[in-house]
Amino acid sequence: MLSYVLYRGMASGWLEKRYREPADALRQAAQGKVDQFGFVQGVCASPYFDWPGTASEGQAFFLLMEAAADEYPRA
């Protein structure tokens, strides 16, 4: 979630470009949690969100992060 906010904040101009490195590091860590089926593991799991596992909310934030990173210019 934080990586998504950093990318959007930089793209919107309310965060400095120096946040690119932390955003990329957080994104890389999140990508490491994706299993062979494309599920993000280790997020607060449904239905009670009291243990690590998978949840549609975790998937949604991962996809938002990926979209924000893809839309943010590399240079």
Break the chain into its structural domains and give their ranges: 1-16+39-70
Answer whether residue 75 shows pLDDT above 90: no
Q: What is the per-residue pLDDT for 8?
A: 96
What does the pLDDT look like over 6-22, one tens digit per residue?
999 999 999 999 999 99
Cis previous bond, 52, omega within 30: no
Name the region of 55 (left: φ>0; alpha: ψ -120 to 50; beta: rest): beta
Q: How far is CA 47 from CA 23, 38, 42, 50, 53, in A?
A: 29, 20, 14, 8, 10
Closest by CA to 44, choosing from 34, 56, 26, is 56
What does the pLDDT look like over 26-46, one tens digit per residue?
999 999 999 999 999 999 998
Q: What is the per-residue pLDDT for 74?
A: 73
